[in-house]
Amino acid sequence: MNKTMRITVDGRKIRASPGQTIMDACDDAGVYVPRLCDVEGLVPQGSCRVCTVKADGHTVAACTEPAEPGMKVENDTLEIKNYRRDLVRMLFHEGNHLCPICEASGRCELQAMAYRLRISQATKYPYLQPVRPVDASHPDIALDNNRCILCGRCIRASRDVDGKHVFEYVGRGIHKRIGVNAENLAATNASIDDYAMSLEVCPVGCIIRKREGFFAPIGARQFDREPIGMDVETRQEHHVPKRRPDPAFGNDGTK
Amino acid sequence: MSVENPKTRIVEIEPLTRVEGHGKVTVHLDHDHNVVEARLHIVEFRGFERFIRGRLLWEVPVIVQRLCGICPVSHHLAAAKAMDAIVGADVLPPTAEKMRRLMHYGQIMQSHVLHFFHLSSPDLLFGFGAPVKKRNVFSVIKEFPELARQGVMLRKYGQEVIEYTAGKKIHGTGAIPGGINKNLSIRERDALLGNIERMIRWAGGAVGVAKDYTLSHLPQVEQFANFKSNHLSLVRDDGALDLYHGNLRAIDASGNIIFDQVDYTRFNDYLMEEVRPWSYMKFPFIKSRGNLDGWYRVGPLSRLNNVSYIDTPLAEKEYRTFREFSRRKPNHMTLAYHWARMIEVLHCVEKIHELLLDTDLQGTDLRVTGARREEGIGVIEAPRGSLFHHYKVDEHDQVTYCNLIVSTTHNNSGLNRAVTDVARKYVGGKKRITEGLLNHVEVAVRAYDPCLSCATHALGQMPLVVELFDAQGHLLHTNSQYVDRPAAGLKP
Ligand code: SF4
Ligand code: SF4
Ligand code: FES
């Protein structure tokens, strides 16, 4: 094992191992970098840019950028926070989010991020308010694309963990969507027991486990108990390092 | 975007449907300037039924709360009852049914109290003729501070009951198809029990205020929009008042039973809805009596006319006085709604007390499911009267059909009668809409407590416009004022 190095985050010195991303080093040190498309257990993809930090003066995605010895990282500055706010706001504008009627409310990472970043007012931009049909064809799973933030976590989970390819991106630009690799979800080999369908994977209320909605009472939902990021910030010094897919596995989940 | 914050509860940036509506009354005169008819026009918005189509069945009890800022819990529970039928939950676990009842009593209590203290007490305490500047809740607070305080505290108590059962004071999630998502913790129970005696005392006092008002203003009360009608409500299988569940009973103006113990899922066999060209809101009537004689009223007055007794002692005592007052015949006085409403508040508080002492509320068996059905009907007695929710759901769990009959729709004919009645008295050959007429129309409309926003499925404050037409249909005069609904109420 190579020697660990030191980097500075907002003036605080933390340890990083070679090859580690800024995000993983920060996590290990109990410093939270906001994120949406990255989640423990999946390969980072670097697409939502909510984890944007400044590393030695350049804006980079913390979830994909490797830590370098002596790197100076700005994470919790006003400038960075404002970038993140704009990015998160845009996600609300792009989709159709009515939190009070959404079963992900209270455990939704997008909503929790909005609170963490203290976004509570509408911006001056119009909401696109798309009306996208719900795919409820599968007996146990539904897909409500109105709430999808295109984080791709489902794609990676299905491909890298389940060894299936249930989800994929379709379309480009503003028309980009999450699609399934068949006519509808029922026609795929998706199963409710797939990792991709677990509550850990979809950060919002797009992948829905049928007939479980609103089982958790208000007050007992994940982010009712503690704000997003608190789990990282309250980590003990000697904790189990973050889980990432075994590099021995290929991208398609095969050896 | 609208984000709900578990802690600070900011927000509600975009309502589900932002639709402007208004209550408009048109008064129609004949050649001699006598009032022929007055019509209450409510711009109805059916967007909701469309919105809900395609949504998933377990979302429905949560979504329907967006229909109404005043009694979201009633919609929540009516929809949950309909969804119980769809998921085959024919008998709920006791904890679930009792938690829902608790929620419902809290809701009726807070809604009735809001109505009485914040909206109606100015009319009652200062008189309808008083100028709008005086006839408002702020004057009540100034001149009757103790009464106002009790109103605020009673309402707050009802809201707390809702919070402990639904998770939030407004737009909670407690009821789920087949049950409930939480029980009542000992801490929550004790917090509520701590204040219950006071609430019972104050609710009793409020009945006194409404009763005294009625008795001491008899000539006015008897004249004011007092007209005969049929009455409809749920009653328990022994005829007792039951606001959460029961069968349909209808009586005629003299108190004779038209039908009784009708399973509400068969309401279509007993009720019909008539369409009139000038109104988007339908006019329901009792089939067997036809559209001319079959119209009926719902709500607190109808319930108390309908039921055989009340199963809580203090409310039952008040109920007897109420019935004796109209010699055990149905009471048709529009203004007696207030009295009836306060008796119901007392009943709710007594029921809440009863439930709080029941250990079933700490049970952990929260939901059941059974054989799936395609169709479900849920009926509940909402603060303003019977509320019907009817859905069909396909095999993918998606809603394919939704029809709601809200209390204001049931009362549509009654409202129009009341408005006509008032117009006859106060237009009096004049060609102008005086403030007096406007005030009286407003009071008559308000006595029904029509949830205009709910009937129109829109949200927000609505102006009441009154227009006067001559026999040729020419507009003679128009006047308007806001029917204010302080949805957020007063902060204690
Ligand atoms: S997915 Fe999240 S942000 Fe979107 S409506 Fe649901 S709770 Fe709100
Ligand atoms: S469905 Fe969920 S996990 Fe997949 S891209 Fe959309 S938001 Fe991300
Ligand atoms: S978390 Fe890094 S780009 Fe999304």
**Within an 8 Å CB–CB cutoff, is residue B363 touching chain A?**
no
Q: Are residues A66 and A88 in the same domain?
A: no
Q: Are residues A208 and A102 in the same domain?
A: yes
pLDDT-based confidence at B399, cuts 50/70/90?
Answer: very high
pLDDT exceeds 70 at position B396: yes
Cβ neighbours of A229 (radius 10 Å):
18
Q: What is the phi/psi pair of residue B328, to 5°?
A: 60, 10
Q: Are residues A62 and A140 in the same domain?
A: no
Determine if ligand 1 sits within 6 Å of the CB of residue A232: no
Q: Which of A159, A158, A136 is nearest to A213 (CA)?
A: A136
Residues of B in contact with A98 (CB under 8 A): 2, 14, 16
pLDDT exceeds 80 at position B41: no
Residue where a domain terminates, one of A19, A47, A76: A76
Is residue A131 a part of any domain in this protein? Answer: yes
Count of structural domains, chain A:
2
Q: Are residues A54 and A114 in the same domain?
A: no
Is residue A192 a part of any domain in this protein? Answer: yes
pLDDT-based confidence at B446, cuts 50/70/90?
Answer: low
pLDDT exceeds 50 at position A223: yes
Residue where a domain terminates, one of A43, A76, A109: A76
pLDDT exceeds 60 at position A204: yes
Task: Summarize pLDDT for B266-308 with one digit per residue, the tens.
Answer: 999 999 988 887 777 788 999 999 988 899 999 999 999 999 9
Q: Are residues A56 and A119 in the same domain?
A: no
pLDDT exceeds 50 at position A206: yes
Is residue A141 a part of any domain in this protein? Answer: yes
Is residue A220 a part of any domain in this protein? Answer: no
Task: Summarize pLDDT for B66-101 with one digit per residue, the tens.
Answer: 776 667 899 999 999 999 999 999 999 999 999 999
In this structure, which ligand is nearest to the CA of A40?
3
CA–centroid distance, residue A152 to ligand 3 (Å): 11
Q: Are residues A13 and A118 in the same domain?
A: no
Alpha helices in B271-410 (DSSP H): 290-293, 300-306, 313-325, 336-356, 407-410
Q: Are B16 and A111 an interchain contact pair (Cβ–Cβ within 8 Å)?
A: no
Residue where a domain terminates, one of A76, A96, A112: A76
Q: Are B63 and A101 an interchain contact pair (Cβ–Cβ within 8 Å)?
A: yes
Q: How far is CA A11 from CA A7, A77, A146, B148, in A?
A: 9, 11, 40, 56
Q: Which of B430, B240, B224, B254 is nearest to B337 (CA)?
A: B224
Is residue A247 a part of any domain in this protein? Answer: no
Distance CA B274, CA B276 (A): 7
Q: Taking CA atoms, what residue in B is nearest to A106?
A: B6
Is residue A38 a part of any domain in this protein? Answer: yes
What are the pocket residues of ligand 3 if the criterion is a CB atom closer than 6 Å to any ligand atom?
A 35-38, 46-51, 61, 63
Determine if ligand 1 sits within 6 Å of the CB of residue A20: no
Q: Are residues A36 and A12 in the same domain?
A: yes
Distance CA B63, CA B420 (A): 36
Instruction: Decide if B156 contacts B114 (C-beta within 8 A).
Output: no
Q: How far is B407 from chain A (nearest CA, A)?
A: 23
Distance CA B474, CA A42 (A): 73
pLDDT exceeds 90 at position B431: no
Q: Are residues A40 and A126 in the same domain?
A: no
What range does the domain containing A164 cover?
Answer: 82-213
Domain ranges of chain B: 2-46+411-481, 228-332
Q: Are A101 and B10 an interchain contact pair (Cβ–Cβ within 8 Å)?
A: no
Determine if ligand 1 sits within 6 Å of the CB of residue A228: no
Q: Which residues contact A224 (CB under 8 A, 6 or more apart)?
A: A106, A218, B6
Q: Are residues A44 and A138 in the same domain?
A: no
CA–centroid distance, residue A54 to ligand 3 (Å): 14
Q: Taking the model in full, what pTM does it have?
A: 0.87
CA–centroid distance, residue A91 to ligand 3 (Å): 13
Task: Record the tokens describing residue B443, joined without a space.
Answer: 């009071």
Q: Are B2 and A219 an interchain contact pair (Cβ–Cβ within 8 Å)?
A: no
CA–centroid distance, residue A231 to ligand 2 (Å): 22
Q: What is the CATH number of the domain that holds A67?
A: 3.10.20.740
Q: Are residues A48 and A91 in the same domain?
A: no
Q: Are residues A207 and A129 in the same domain?
A: yes
**How many CB contacts within 8 angstroms connect chain A with chain B?**
98
Is residue A187 a part of any domain in this protein? Answer: yes
Q: Are residues A102 and A185 in the same domain?
A: yes
Q: What spatial distance separates the first Cα and last Cα of chain A, rounded to whole Å?
A: 23
Is residue A195 a part of any domain in this protein? Answer: yes
Q: Taking CA atoms, what residue in A is nearest to B83?
A: A211
